[in-house]
Amino acid sequence: MTDQDRRRFLASLAASGIAAIGVGCGWDGGKRFAPKLMSWSRVNDWVSARLFSGSRLAREYPIARRTQGAEFPAYFVSDNMPTLADPGAWRLQVGGLVRKPAVLTLDRLQSLPRLSYTVKHHCVEGWTAIATWAGVPFRVVAEMVEPLPAARYVKFTSFDAGYSNGWDLPSALHPQTILAYAYNDRPLMPDHGAPLRLYSPTKLGYKNTKYLLGVEFTDTRPGGYWEDQGYPWYGGL
Ligand X SMILES: Nc1nc2c(c(=O)[nH]1)N[C@H]1C(S)=C(S)[C@@H](COP(=O)(O)O)O[C@H]1N2
Binding site for ligand X (CB under 6 A): 72-77, 123, 158, 160, 163, 192-193, 205-206, 208-211
Cα 106 to Cα 88: distance, rounded to the nearest angstrom: 9
Does residue 201 touch Mo ion according to CB under 5 A? no
Q: Is 222 in the site for Mo ion (CB under 5 A)?
A: no
CB of 134 to ligand X, least distance (A): 14
Please tell me whether residue 177 adopts helix, strand or coil conformation: coil
Tell which positions 64-123 bind Mo ion, by CB under 5 A: 123
In 3D space, the residue among 73, 80, 79, 66 whose CA is nearest the CA of residue 186 turns out to be 66
Q: 180-184 contacts: CB < 8 A, separation 24 or more? A: 180/133, 180/134, 180/135, 181/106, 181/109, 181/110, 181/134, 181/135, 181/136, 182/116, 182/132, 182/133, 182/134, 182/135, 183/131, 183/132, 183/133, 184/66, 184/131, 184/132
Q: Identify which of residues 162 and 170 has a Cβ nearer to ligand X in the complex.
A: 162
Q: What part of residues 117-146 is at the interface with Mo ion (CB under 5 A)?
A: 123
Shortest distance (Å) from residue 52 CB to ligand X:
20
Least CB distance to Mo ion at residue 130 (A): 15
Instruction: Tell me whether residue 206 or residue 217 sits nearer to Mo ion (CB atom).
Output: 206
Please name which of 161, 181, 167, 55 lies closest in space to residue 113, comparing C-alpha atoms. Answer: 181
Q: Which is nearer to Mo ion, 131 or 145 (CB)?
A: 131
Q: Does 205 bind Mo ion (CB under 5 A)?
A: yes
Q: How far is the CB of 39 from ligand X (least distance, A)?
A: 20
Strand partners, 157: 164, 214
Query: Which partner from the list Mo ion, ligand X, none does 96 bind, CB cut-off 5 to 8 Å by kind?
Result: none
Please give the Cα distance from 9 to 202 (Å, whole number).
58
Nearer to Mo ion, 132 or 208 (CB): 208
Minimum distance, C-beta of residue 79 to ligand X, in the bound complex (Å) = 12
| Residues found near Mo ion in the complex (CB under 5 A) | 123, 205-206
